[in-house]
Chain A
Amino acid sequence: MYVEVKQLVKKFGNHVASDHVSFGIEKGKLVGFLGPSGGGKTTILRMLAGLDHPDSGEIYINGQLVNDVPPQKRGIGFVFQNYALFRHMTVYDNIAFGLVVQKRKKPEIERRVSELIELTGLKGLEKRYPNQLSGGQRQRVAFARALAPEPHLLLLDEPFAAIDAKVRKELRAWLRSTIERIGITTIFVTHDQEEAVEVADEIMIINRGRIEQKGSPYEIYKNPQTPFVAGFIGESTLLEDPSSLYGFEDVIPGTKAIVRPEYVEVGLKGEVSIPSAAQLGTVESVFFRGDSWQVNVRIGDHVVSAYRSLEKKPLKANDEVLVLIHRLYIFNHEQSCIMENSRRKELFSYSI
């Protein structure tokens, strides 16, 4: 493990920002800390950088205990949420700062800075000041500045939060491919699940100072271990007592479950793949999602959501429909399992 954290605790008054957090990160990985604001992601990141001191616990970087190593000596690149560019310095001087501080030779500094300006596509902007740059350009400067002294670990705090939605997508892809090219171990913090899923090799879901789950985006999506994770990653609906649903009669009464729209089929007679496993429901409302319809259907006390192809006949409120729920995620005292519809006899494929 390149970065290893053991039982990290940090409190701000009564607020526990990090509650006995432990994890390890392999060299070269791109890891995303995902969770709601105030969940402790940024605090953990700041402790790794040495900007905050943990109340207890240990941080190892490359096998060395760094708790008492000052941030200057940790060899970490940090990109701040608002970029924290030096406002009175040009783009060139911002990027060169870390090298000047290390008293590197002038030709070496010039070579390294122009290399980074090339890498970040900032050519021609060297003499600009931060307030003359767009949000995306500022982010690139902050990125280049953090990389200039050749850190072994790169930390990014909400790197896309201050950027327009349009530019954000583009920058995400760019950041991912650039980090991959350099091969630097990277941790970034985000509250945006789409961003985490798209950029990270591995995600850690952090909520209330704890790691709820870690794994690849696909694993977490397929197999959420807590109701919080299920609710945070992907679309889902919480069901209070799923034992009244067709095909899930075996669920112990009183347990909670979530259902994802991808596992629900809604259709008129003849459209549902296994009519024998489906039950009747009433359409409550229909929304256009851009690439499909979202249909909210009432079954008894439950309301579940499903996606419906634009190719099929549009539904409207109060239509009687067949609802087939393929899969639920059952949560019983922090234990979770996937449950398939018991009336489904054989493997089959279906499409919305």
Chain B
Amino acid sequence: MRATSTSQVKTARHNPALSESPVVKWILISIALLFIIVVLILPLITVFQQAFRKGFDVYVAAITEPNALAAIRLTIITALIAVPLNTIFGIAAAWAITKFKFRGKQVLVSLIDLPFAISPVIAGLIFVLLFGAQGFLGPWLIEHNMPIIFAVPGVVIATIFVTFPFVARELIPIMQAQGNSEEEAAVCLGASGWTIFRKVTLPNIKWGLLYGIILCNARAMGEFGAVSVVSGHIRGETNTIPLHVEILYNEYQFAAAFAVASLLVLLAFVTLIVKSIAERKHELSLRESLTDGGE
């Protein structure tokens, strides 16, 4: 879908019949630009401006303060668990959906989208109801000294839930476009399932996969709603970076709040850069597979 939209942009540029007068063109461009400046660029500048308002030392102190470091550590740990798990799940789901015929496939496709459809707060509440002290499994878990809610496992589980569609969503269209014929060819040449995956499927989907992993990671590190419900906001223990920012902000420590927030903004920049590279490659391979199929 992304590939077609860019190719349409290209046709509009080349086809004079589809282009508007310069006035219309510049009005549209200015509106888009103005909107981006007000909604995106100004807030981003503000984040850094506020972060450094009291000087560089305060900035560094805010980031290296023990609670901040704990929040950063937990965020990274959560992402390190959630992203690989969802990557494996995403590949398995996309593989099952695009390479096999089975009953209930449409239901599975809809279920994968469920975390997108549900508000993250509700997602968090679901886990409180399941694993909380008054919940379904909660008393048993607490009895066996395995608390999930208001503890690190809850944060990890909520993050996995929220970020679970990203990889599968990226892979399904590209794998559908590529079809099964290369895998069938490999089977006829004597390759086992694992060899086929490693040597044929994976190289064909690698850019789409990377793109999905990056999106998944960005969301895993930035998730607020669901994590906020299950974490309990215990300082130095169950706070992730977004939760830590909120606490600092509520305590009127604006400079510190924005300093920690700037870390997430930096993460966003890195994500954006890697994403645009992966996206370009991903589109290229998608378009290639479409033209191959259309011959």
Contact = CB atoms under 8 A, between A and B. Distances in A.
B22 interface: no
Interface centre among A71, A130, A146 (most CB of B within 10 A): A71
Contacts of A162: 295
Interface centre among B195, B292, B293 (most CB of A within 10 A): B292
Contact of A87 (B182, B186, B189, B199): B182
A248 interface: no
B288 A101 contact: no
Given A78-B185, A80-B184, A97-B186, A131 B191 contact: no
Contact of A72 (B187, B199, B285): B187
Contacts of A70: 187
Contacts of B189: 97-98, 101, 145-146, 148-149
Given A84-B184, A87-B182, A101 B295 contact: no
Contacts of B192: 72, 101
Contacts of B199: 86, 97
B293 to A, nearest CB: 7
Interface string A82-93: 101111100000
A87 B289 contact: yes
A101 B204 contact: no
Contacts of A82: 181, 292-293, 295
B59 to A, nearest CB: 45
A17 to B, nearest CB: 15
B31 interface: no
A261 interface: no
Contacts of A317: none
Contacts of B195: 101
A145 B191 CA distance: 13
Interface string A145-181: 1101100000000000010000000000000000000
Contacts of B104: none
Interface string A301-337: 0000000000000000000000000000000000000
A51 B187 contact: yes
Interface size class of A (residues with CB under 8 A): 20 to 34
A51 B182 CA distance: 12
B203 interface: yes
A76 interface: yes
A149 B189 CA distance: 7
A349 B182 CA distance: 55
B190 A101 contact: yes
Contacts of A76: 188
A226 to B, nearest CB: 33
Contact of B203 (A84, A88, A102): A88
Contacts of A86: 182, 185-186, 199-200
A49 interface: yes
Contacts of A49: 188
A78 to B, nearest CB: 4
Contacts of A135: 295
B30 to A, nearest CB: 40
B181 A84 contact: yes
B181 A80 contact: yes
Contact of A149 (B182, B184, B190, B204): B190
Contact of A131 (B188, B190, B292): B292
A146 B182 contact: no
Contacts of B289: 87
B188 A71 contact: yes
A162 B195 CA distance: 29
Interface of A: 49-51, 70-73, 76-78, 80, 82, 84-88, 97-98, 101-102, 130-131, 135, 145-146, 148-149, 162
Given A80-B184, A88-B204, A101-B192, 6 more contacts: A50-B187, A70-B187, A97-B186, A98-B189, A101-B191, A145-B189
15 contacts: A72-B187, A76-B188, A78-B185, A80-B184, A80-B185, A84-B182, A85-B182, A86-B185, A86-B200, A87-B182, A87-B292, A88-B204, A97-B191, A101-B195, A102-B190
Interface of B: 181-182, 184-192, 195, 199-200, 203-204, 285, 288-289, 292-293, 295
Nearest 9 Cβ contacts at the A-B interface? A84-B181, A98-B189, A84-B185, A78-B188, A88-B203, A101-B191, A72-B190, A71-B187, A101-B190
